[in-house]
């Protein structure tokens, strides 16, 4: 992969740094379009293939520079920087200086093996993460020529092959592949949330004179890599690629990771042990010199004792455990851990900060209700909204349907079959589409022009969009639909079936139903014995509505759910909104106003109230805006729907026709909770993880999502209030607050830092470039697989989907790994400390060394090899319920207590050997003493592996390793191994006394473990 030559891969340029090439691109981008084309030696016809190849070689591929993969020597050198490895490397030369070559060789072998294993596992993890780059193949539509004289043509190429001077085509849904200067647009609007955090689309146009005071991302003529096309289309000139884009310069790759909580914990434990190790050799030498008068001949033994205290396999076990859990996460749940210590960090997380969309909610809204201008349920509003959505999508030829349109269409279709609901025919079957004006961020509305069957001389404009913008173009309130549409009543010539016997048709209070004029003869009476009651508040406008009806007080508390609308639309005897061919006004009455709202050109309507409509004055407009604001405060999103009739014409429709409209009502949408959100939140809460939402949305929207999930959001903290707090106050408030709204990227960073300052291990889930500062500030940064490249590069953990369930799996895996590492440390350190205490005591009590240096190292090597099986341990369920960080203070208390138990067993063994083996200075007696302690040491360590675990039953690998360890201990005193290792056979009486010692030792371990919460892990967690 090639990068720009002026910025080597892996370099982390400060955000303010600008290369000369980048500065030239910025200056060109602000020049007039013609000057930019000339400056880049390009033209509207695009580059030739030869020119593109030459520029690709000069500028490099259009990719974001990342960290260069480390070479094997570099990985190996990094593995050698471990504190324990450094101590072993220091002890090796000391052994060589006193000619203890066996000790030096064993130490060197331990260092080489552990470093090789660690390098290999980290390499495999990096390979898994790098594979994410190839999961999504991005392309761009570029205009190029095969030769200078050939005609240009558009074709798809990988975005990596784009070069400055290319002319590209943009359409809805396209991701901007590089920094570009617009040449031509048609209603172009971009989503720049990944860059700025703003969710609203931003209008773009090819201004030739950009305003000098415009902000970097506010320049209408410039589009930046990382944004995407919301609507419209255009052509643009590529001005910068790769390392020279704003995207790459503003958010450089993190070249060196900060120290994590896991690093701090392991380093704290390591340095605690290193202090003991540095004290051990001098103590052994002083004790032997003072009591026995021995000198340098005890140096190999002192070094062996120090090595015995060292958990040499700690780097190997840690890396193996983390790598195994990371591989299982990737294989089973699609979660990639890019940096192995991050698995511990996510297991230690007790606060998770996340956005709302895609985690707690679906990525698309759903219909909540359809309301008339007075806040009462009205399925007619939903019908007209569906007409608008269908014909806008069909006539505007949008390649990516708008999410709001899809929500409206889903509400009027059967959930499974996708067919129209009974009683509401599809709009494309009953209306003829004439024209469509798609949504754009300037007008903030979309219009469909349709013709109803039998209304060949009339066109109906159906407008849907922002409440403020639509109301600004309305002059009337609509109460009944245009002629030809029946609403809960029969139109001329339409028979409504009577209710089924025994079934009552009850309408909710406050319901307003509009219908075309109908006579009593057209509506058959119900069968005998069947009542058709109506609540007192029900109003039927079958004749022209009176002012009293139109002025009915609003009922903002009355809403109807989508499922309620579905029942209304399919109820027997209520074909609500059916437009019936031939049911419009008769030919002779075509020019006469009827009860409908669309009865002639709106411009020609009189200003006074008419049947079914009333004048929309300023007070009524303010009431509607206030009602919409109140609904928004409850977390709902409102779209206004308005209608107008125009005489049919052949000319084109434009925004100027969106005037003199009749306001029909509101379509209310909400963010639907994600299917797995409630269960995932419950699972995380059960593991002690508090979820906090940091969003740029309205406070009411975020709070409503929490309530929909069955949670109480409490007080909502907004970005404006965060600005007024200092860090100390924010830390206090952040702990008690679950929802943070109207947050900018800077607010998110402050909240994350405040939570960490309060002592919480904090995770942050984000997917945009604007989330990078918060990702860096958190203990563990998490992003979904489809996040932008630079965010994915900065994240510690990458999810297959933006789903809290995946995070729950990652938390579980992290705690499994942490519990396993903690078990290894407790077992290894308590056993090793007990041996060191016993060796120091033996140096004072015995006239000879209690064990030969080679035997000490062999024992240590056997124990270390057996401890690798602990990587397959399964912690107790209690270890998964709460975060269990590795705290050096807790380990010190634990290993001191259990180390003394081990030392007591060793001293009891010394007493048994004194009784059964001649305590003399003869070589045979010393060899038997060495053999007896060697055997006891390996068997007690095997018991520790099985009994000092956190789980209830040891897995098969641990049982096998413990059995092998005990077997080696029993075989060493026997020929032929005894002669090779300086051991000697032991008497039977020793084995009987040893069995008694081991039985008492096992009982003490079980009792101590039970006293401390039923296991080592639970004891540490309780601490």
Residue 649: beta bridge partners? none
CB atoms within 10 A of CB 58: 12
- Half-sphere exposure for 957 (CA within 13 Å, toward CB): 10
pLDDT value of residue 294: 63
Helices (H), 98-159: 101-130
CATH 3.90.1580.10 fits 20-67+135-250, yes or no: no
Q: What token pair was written down for 829?
A: 């350190």
- For the chain, give the percent of residues with pLDDT over 90: 18
Q: Report the helix count and the strand count for the chain, using DSSP H and E.
A: 35, 28
What span, in angstroms and rounded, lies between the C-alpha atoms of 580 and 1?
64
Please state which of the ranges 128-142, 146-160, 371-385, 942-956 shows the lowest mean pLDDT.
128-142
- Name the residue among 863, 895, 880 with its Cα closest to residue 1008: 895
Of residues 297, 280, 291, 311, the one with CA closest to residue 852: 297
Report whether 808 contacts 294 (CB < 8 A): no
Predicted confidence band of residue 91 (pLDDT cuts 50, 70, 90) = low
Residue bearing the bigger pLDDT, 707 or 574: 707
Q: What is the DSSP letter of 377?
A: B
The tokens describing 694, both together, are 């940091």
Helix (H) / strand (E) containing 702: helix 699-708
- On whether the CB atoms of residues 280 and 305 are closer than 8 A, the answer is yes
Percent of the chain with pLDDT over 70: 69
Give the model's confidence band at 997: pLDDT under 50 very low, under 70 low, under 90 confident, else very high: very high
Q: For strand 474-478 and strand 661-673, is the pairing parallel, antiparallel, or unpaired?
A: parallel
Distances (CA, A) of 59 to 166, 244, 644, 795: 13, 9, 56, 27
In this prediction, residues 3-8 reach a mean pLDDT of 29
Q: How confident is the model at residue 321 (pLDDT cuts 50, 70, 90)?
A: confident
Residue 248 vs residue 169, higher pLDDT:
169
Tell me how far apart the alpha carbons of residues 295 and 405 are, in angstroms, rounded to a whole number: 89
Query: How far apart are alpha carbons 643 and 937 in whole angstroms?
Result: 90
**488 half-sphere exposure, CB direction, 13 A CA radius:** 21
721 — pLDDT class (breaks 50, 70, 90): very high
| Predicted pLDDT of residue 748 | 92
Angle between helices 379-396 and 562-570 (to 10 degrees): 100
663-689 pLDDT per residue, tens: 999 999 988 888 888 888 888 888 899
What is the C-alpha separation between 393 and 400, in angstroms, rounded? 9
Mean pLDDT of the 38-67 span: 87
What residue segments make up the domains of the chain, in order of their start? 20-67+135-250, 258-327+811-1022, 336-360+674-799, 365-490+540-579+595-671
Region 84-100: what's the mean pLDDT?
66
Q: What integer pLDDT is reported at residue 282 of this predicted model? A: 75
Tally of CA atoms within 13 A in the half-sphere of 151 that contains its CB: 1
Residue-wise pLDDT for 792-805, tens only, equals 777 889 888 778 88
Beta bridge partners of 143: 154, 167
Kindly state the tokens that stand for 638. 């409102």
Q: Confidence class of residue 270 from pLDDT cuts 50, 70 and 90?
A: confident
Preceding peptide of 640 cis, ω within 30°: no
Question: What are the strands, taking DSSP E only, across 835-917?
Answer: none
Burial class of residue 242, CB neighbours in 10 A (0-12, 13-18, 19+) = buried
Tokens read off for 911: 């007493």
Instruction: Report d(CA 467, CA 665) in Å as an integer.
Output: 10
Residues with Cβ within 8 Å of 834's Cβ and at least 6 positions away in sequence, in order, are 898, 899, 900, 901, 902, 903, 905, 906
Start-to-end CA span in the chain (Å): 51
Q: Which fold has domain 258-327+811-1022?
A: Calcium-transporting ATPase, transmembrane domain (1.20.1110)
| Beta strands 222-223 and 361-371, pairing class | unpaired
Pick the range with the lowest mean pLDDT from 523-527, 675-679, 1019-1023.
Answer: 523-527
Other C-beta atoms closer than 10 Å to the C-beta of 462 total 30
551 band by pLDDT with thresholds 50, 70 and 90:
very low
Whole-angstrom distance, CA of residue 520 vs CA of residue 524: 8
| Residue 407, strand partner residues | none
Could you tell me which CATH number the domain at 336-360+674-799 has? 3.40.50.1000
Minimal CA–CA distance to 407: which of 376, 443, 444, 368?
368
For CA atoms 67, 73, 75, 80, the dihedral sign is negative
- Arithmetic mean of pLDDT, 389-395: 86
DSSP 297-324: GGHHHHHHHHHHHS-TTHHHHHHHHHHH
CATH of domain 365-490+540-579+595-671: 3.40.1110.10
Please give the pLDDT value at position 218. Answer: 74
Collapsing DSSP states into helix, strand and coil, what is residue 221? coil
Q: 448 falls in which pLDDT band (50, 70, 90)?
A: very high
Task: Please give the pLDDT value at position 464.
Answer: 96
pLDDT digits (tens, 9 = 90+) for 907-918: 899 889 888 887
596 vs 417, 515, 588, 610, 773, CA distance in Å? 33, 9, 17, 10, 56
Q: Which of 708, 762, 712 is nearest to 735 (CA)?
A: 762
User: Which class for 453: exposed (0-12), middle (13-18), buried (19 or more C-beta within 10 A)?
Assistant: middle
What the block records as the tokens of 951 is: 């789980």
pLDDT by residue (tens digit) across 846-863? 777 777 777 877 887 788
Q: What is the rounded CA–CA span in Å between residue 869 and residue 955?
A: 9
Of 399-403, 415-419, 935-939, 981-985, least confident by mean pLDDT is 415-419
Q: How confident is the model at residue 627 (pLDDT cuts 50, 70, 90)?
A: very high
For the stretch 208-212, contacts whose Cβ atoms lie closer than 8 Å and that sit 24 or more positions apart, written own/partner, are 208/32, 208/33, 209/32, 210/30
Find where tokens 């001293």 sit: 907
CA 937 to chain centroid: 49
Three-state secondary structure call for residue 628: helix
For 909-933, what is the mean pLDDT? 79
Residues 348-370: pLDDT tens digits?
899 999 987 777 887 678 898 99
What is the structure's pLDDT at 200?
Answer: 64
CA 685 to chain centre: 17
pLDDT in tens, 860-918: 778 878 888 887 887 777 767 777 767 777 777 788 888 888 889 988 998 898 888 87
pLDDT at 103 over 70: no
DSSP-derived letter for residue 661 is E
């Amino acid at each position: 992969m090639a990068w720009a030559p002026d910025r080597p891969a892996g370099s982390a340029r400060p955000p303010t740094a600008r290369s000369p090439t980048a500065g030239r691109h910025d200056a060109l981008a602000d020049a007039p379009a013609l000057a930019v084309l000339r400056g880049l030696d390009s033209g509207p016809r695009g580059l030739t293939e030869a020119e593109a190849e030459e520029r690709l070689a000069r500028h490099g591929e259009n990719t974001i520079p990342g960290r260069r993969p480390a070479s094997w020597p570099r990985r190996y050198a990094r593995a050698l920087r471990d504190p324990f490895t450094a101590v072993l490397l220091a002890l090796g030369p000391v052994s060589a200086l006193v000619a203890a070559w066996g000790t030096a060789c064993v130490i060197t072998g331990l260092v080489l093996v552990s470093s090789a294993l660690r390098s290999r596992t980290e390499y495999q993890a990096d390979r898994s993460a790098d594979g994410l780059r190839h999961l999504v193949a991005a392309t761009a539509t570029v205009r190029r020529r095969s030769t200078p004289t050939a005609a240009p043509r558009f074709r798809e190429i990988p975005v990596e092959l784009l070069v400055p001077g290319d002319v590209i085509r943009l359409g809805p849904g396209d991701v901007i592949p590089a920094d570009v200067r617009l040449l031509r647009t048609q209603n172009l609007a971009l989503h720049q949330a990944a860059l700025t955090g703003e969710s609203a689309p931003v209008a773009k146009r090819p201004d030739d004179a950009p305003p000098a005071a415009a902000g970097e991302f506010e320049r209408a003529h410039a589009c930046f890599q990382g944004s995407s096309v919301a609507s419209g289309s255009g052509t643009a000139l590529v001005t910068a690629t790769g390392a020279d884009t704003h995207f790459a310069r503003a958010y450089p790759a993190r070249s060196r990771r900060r120290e994590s909580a896991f690093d701090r914990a392991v380093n704290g434990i390591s340095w605690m042990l290193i202090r003991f190790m540095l004290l051990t050799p001098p103590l052994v030498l002083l004790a032997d010199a003072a009591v026995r008068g021995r000198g340098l001949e005890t140096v190999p033994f002192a070094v062996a004792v120090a090595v015995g205290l060292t958990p040499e396999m700690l780097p190997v076990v840690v890396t193996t455990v983390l790598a195994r859990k990371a591989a299982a996460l990737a294989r089973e749940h699609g979660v990639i851990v890019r940096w192995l210590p991050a698995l511990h960090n996510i297991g230690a997380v007790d606060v998770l900060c996340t956005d709302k969309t895609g985690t707690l909610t679906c990525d698309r809204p759903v219909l909540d209700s359809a309301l008339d201008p007075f806040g009462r349920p009205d399925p007619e509003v939903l019908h007209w909204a569906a007409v608008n959505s269908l014909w806008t999508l069909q006539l505007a030829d949008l390649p990516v349907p708008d999410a709001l349109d899809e929500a409206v269409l889903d509400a009027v279709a059967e959930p499974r079959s996708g067919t129209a609901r009974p009683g509401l025919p599809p709009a494309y079957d009953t209306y003829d589409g004439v024209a469509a004006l798609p949504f754009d961020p300037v007008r903030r509305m979309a219009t469909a022009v349709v013709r109803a069957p039998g209304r060949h001389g009339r066109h109906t404009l159906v407008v849907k969009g922002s409440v403020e913008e639509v109301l600004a173009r309305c002059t009337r309130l609509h109460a009944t639909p245009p002629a030809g549409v029946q609403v809960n009543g029969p139109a001329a010539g339409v028979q409504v079936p009577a209710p089924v016997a025994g079934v009552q048709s009850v309408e909710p209070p406050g319901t307003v139903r509009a219908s075309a004029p109908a006579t009593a003869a057209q509506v058959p009476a119900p069968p005998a014995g069947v009542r058709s009651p109506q609540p007192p508040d029900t109003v039927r406008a079958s004749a022209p509505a009176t002012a009293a009806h139109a002025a009915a007080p609003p009922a903002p508390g009355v809403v109807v759910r989508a499922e309620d609308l579905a029942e209304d639309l399919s109820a027997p005897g209520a074909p609500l909104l059916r437009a019936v061919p031939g049911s419009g006004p008769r030919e002779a009455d075509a020019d006469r106003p009827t009860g409908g709202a669309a009865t002639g050109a709106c411009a020609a309507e009189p200003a006074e109230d008419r049947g079914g409509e009333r004048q929309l004055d300023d007070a009524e407009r303010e009431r509607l805006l206030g009602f919409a604001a109140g609904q928004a405060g409850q977390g709902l999103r409102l779209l206004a729907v308005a209608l107008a009739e125009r005489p049919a014409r052949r000319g084109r429709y434009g925004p100027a026709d969106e005037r003199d409209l009749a306001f029909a009502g509101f379509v209310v949408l909400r963010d639907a909770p994600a299917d797995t959100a409630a269960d995932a939140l419950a699972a995380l809460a059960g593991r002690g993880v508090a979820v906090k939402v940091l969003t740029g949305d309205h406070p009411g929207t975020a709070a409503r999502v929490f309530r929909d999930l069955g949670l109480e959001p409490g007080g909502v903290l907004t970005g404006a209030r965060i600005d007024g707090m200092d860090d100390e106050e924010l830390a206090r408030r952040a702990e008690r607050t679950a929802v943070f709204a109207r947050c900018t990227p800077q607010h998110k960073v402050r909240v994350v830092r405040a939570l960490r300052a309060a002592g919480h291990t904090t995770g942050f889930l984000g997917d945009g470039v604007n989330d990078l500062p918060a990702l860096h500030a958190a203990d563990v940064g998490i992003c979904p697989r489809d996040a932008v490249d630079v965010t994915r590069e900065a994240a510690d953990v990458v999810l297959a989907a933006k789903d809290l369930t995946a995070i729950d799996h990652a938390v579980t895996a992290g705690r499994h790994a942490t519990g396993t590492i903690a078990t290894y440390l407790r077992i290894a350190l308590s056993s090793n400390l007990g041996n060191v205490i016993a060796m120091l005591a033996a140096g004072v009590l015995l006239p000879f060394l209690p064990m030969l240096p080679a035997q000490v190292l062999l024992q240590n090597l056997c124990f270390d090899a057996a401890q690798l099986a602990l990587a397959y341990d399964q912690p107790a369920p209690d270890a998964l319920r709460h975060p269990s960080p590795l705290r050096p203070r807790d380990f010190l208390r634990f290993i001191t207590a259990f180390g003394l138990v081990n030392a007591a067993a060793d001293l009891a063994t010394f007493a048994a050997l004194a009784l059964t083996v001649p305590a003399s200075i003869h070589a045979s007696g010393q060899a038997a003493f060495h053999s007896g302690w060697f055997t006891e040491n390996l068997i007690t360590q095997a018991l520790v592996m099985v009994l000092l675990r956190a789980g209830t039953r040891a897995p098969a690998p641990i049982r096998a390793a413990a059995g092998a360890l005990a077997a080696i201990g029993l075989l060493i005193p026997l020929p032929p191994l005894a002669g090779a290792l300086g051991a000697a056979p032991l008497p039977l009486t020793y084995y009987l006394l040893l069995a008694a010692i081991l039985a008492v030792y096992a009982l003490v371990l079980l009792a101590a473990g039970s006293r401390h919460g039923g296991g080592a892990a639970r004891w540490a967690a309780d601490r």
